Amino acid sequence: MRVVLQRVSHASCTVEGQVSGAIENGLCLFVGFCQDDNETILEKMIHKILNLRIFSDEQGKMNLNVQQIGGSILSISQFTLYASCIKGNRPGFTEAAPAQMASLLYDKFNAFLKERIHTETGIFQADMKIDLLNDGPVTIILDSRELKL
């Protein structure tokens, strides 16, 4: 599982002219799944995301997590996080989870998030327009294979 996490002042997702999700202060997550992912990995990744201290305290030090600031999450599915550009000029996506599996994982990921924090979402496999204001900027890449979860 890969997540590109961005600290945002606001973020929204629009599909066919309709806003499917919008947040103010919080995190915009671009989420991709691979064939090895499972519910245990989802839970551990959520724990990591919710506990990352990437918001400033009163002294301006990154010392608070998204829940401590009363923030929200916008979760966007993005299979292109598993693009392979090693050979040729057209990305390959063989490492990404198949659509049916990824859809189930994305739904579970969002359900687990919603149990813990206000979460808005994009629409799986839709052509989405994402509008966000990156705060900092703070952008962090999490890969479940590289983390000690």
Q: Point out the catalytic residue in the list 6, 55, 78, 119.
A: 78
Neighbours of 61 (CB within 10 A): 10
* CA nearest neighbour of 128 among 31, 9, 27: 31
Question: Angle 96-101-106 (CA atoms, 0-180°, nearest 5)?
Answer: 85
Q: Point out the catalytic residue in the list 40, 80, 125, 139.
A: 80
Q: Point out the catalytic residue in the list 55, 79, 119, 121.
A: 79
Active site (annotated) includes residue 80: yes
- Characterize the bridge pairing of strands 26-32 and 2-15: antiparallel
Active site amino acids: 78-80
